[in-house]
């Protein structure tokens, strides 16, 4: 049984006006637990809108969004807030860390919000930052800051790890390390990881690639022979 189902999903701004914009247009797909999915598309294709829908940060105009047999598109605000807190871990292009807190303290804040968290120190060790626990963001490289952001997302023990251009602010070598880390986390914790990006090279490492164009799914393909992150360049 699929863990996630998006059914005939549309997100329309300024509907029934001369300025109507269909950010998503009748999108449907399913995802199983543990998949590593890349949603690929140019700017304006609708990929970030779709990620925000899955993350409970935005709502549908029409259609359904089902997680573990619960239609999230029909829950109230309180239930939606609980869904975001318990089911979703977000990783953004920019790290959004609290500058005056250490790496450990940044992660512990997220840990404190979860009913079933992982251990902050263990997670930071698993992302390669066991020796950087007491460093503040200013004392960390861009790649290390993104690792803290990933640890902060995963410590909540979420159902989904959603990543919006997670390598966009990084050089290619560091970006490759971050993608490898996300793959390793998906396998270690059996988490469904969904990355949205315009970078077609990142799609080469995915187990599945969904291509969006003008708010519609252009293709949805299984990658039977994904490359290793260290074998791609961009």
DSSP 8-class letter at 133: T
The verdict on residue 128 lying in a domain is yes
pLDDT tops 70 at residue 1: no
pLDDT band at 91 (very low <50, low <70, confident <90, very high): very high
DSSP state for residue 113 in the 8-state scheme: T
> Would you give the distance in Å from CA 233 to the centre of its chain?
22
Residue 3: which pLDDT band, with cuts at 50, 70 and 90? confident
Task: Check residue 34 and give its pLDDT.
Answer: 92
Examine residue 126 and state whether it is found in any structural domain, yes or no.
yes
In a domain, 57, yes or no: yes
pLDDT of residue 173: 86
- Domain count for the chain: 1
**CATH of residue 102:** 3.40.50.300
Average pLDDT value for residue range 122-147: 95
Per residue in 204-233, pLDDT (tens digit) is: 999 999 999 999 999 999 999 999 988 887
Report the pLDDT averaged over residues 163-179: 88
The answer as to whether 88 is a domain residue is: yes
Instruction: Extract the tokens encoding 72.
Output: 């999230």
Q: What is the pLDDT of residue 4?
A: 93
Query: What b/e string do you get for 209-222 counting C-beta neighbours within 10 Å, with b at 16 or more?
Result: bbbbeebebeeeee
94 assigned to some structural domain: yes
* Of the candidates 188, 38, 39, the residue with the CA atom closest to the CA atom of residue 127: 188
Residue 15 located in a structural domain: no
Look at residue 72 and tell me if it is in a domain.
Answer: no
Has residue 121 been placed in a domain? Answer: yes
- What is the spatial distance between Cα 159 and Cα 163, in angstroms, rounded to a whole number? 13
User: Mean of the per-residue pLDDT values for the chain?
Assistant: 93
Q: Which domain holds residue 45?
A: 34-62+80-231
For 105, phi and psi rounded to 5 degrees? -65, -35
pLDDT score at 154: 95
């Amino acid at each position: 049984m699929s863990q996630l189902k998006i059914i005939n999903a549309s997100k329309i701004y300024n509907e029934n006006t001369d300025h109507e914009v269909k950010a998503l247009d009748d999108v449907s797909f399913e995802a199983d637990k543990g998949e590593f999915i890349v949603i690929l598309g140019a700017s304006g294709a609708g990929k970030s809108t779709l990620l925000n829908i899955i993350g409970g940060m935005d709502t549908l105009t029409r259609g359904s969004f089902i997680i573990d047999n619960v239609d999230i598109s029909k829950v109230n605000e309180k239930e939606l807030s609980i869904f975001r807190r318990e089911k979703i871990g977000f990783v953004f292009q920019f790290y959004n860390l609290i500058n005056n807190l250490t790496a450990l303290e940044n992660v512990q804040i997220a840990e404190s919000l979860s009913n079933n968290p992982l251990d902050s120190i263990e997670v930071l060790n698993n992302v390669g930052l066991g020796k950087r626990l007491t460093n503040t963001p200013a004392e960390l490289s861009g790649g290390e800051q993104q690792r803290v952001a990933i640890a902060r997302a995963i410590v909540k023990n979420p159902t989904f790890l959603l990543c919006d251009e997670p390598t966009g602010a990084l050089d290619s070598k560091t970006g490759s390390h971050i993608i490898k880390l996300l793959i390793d986390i998906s396998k270690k914790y059996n988490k469904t990881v969904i990355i949205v990006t315009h970078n077609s090279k990142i799609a080469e490492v995915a187990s599945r690639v969904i291509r969006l164009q003008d708010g519609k799914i252009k293709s949805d393909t299984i990658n039977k022979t994904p490359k290793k992150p260290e074998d791609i360049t961009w």
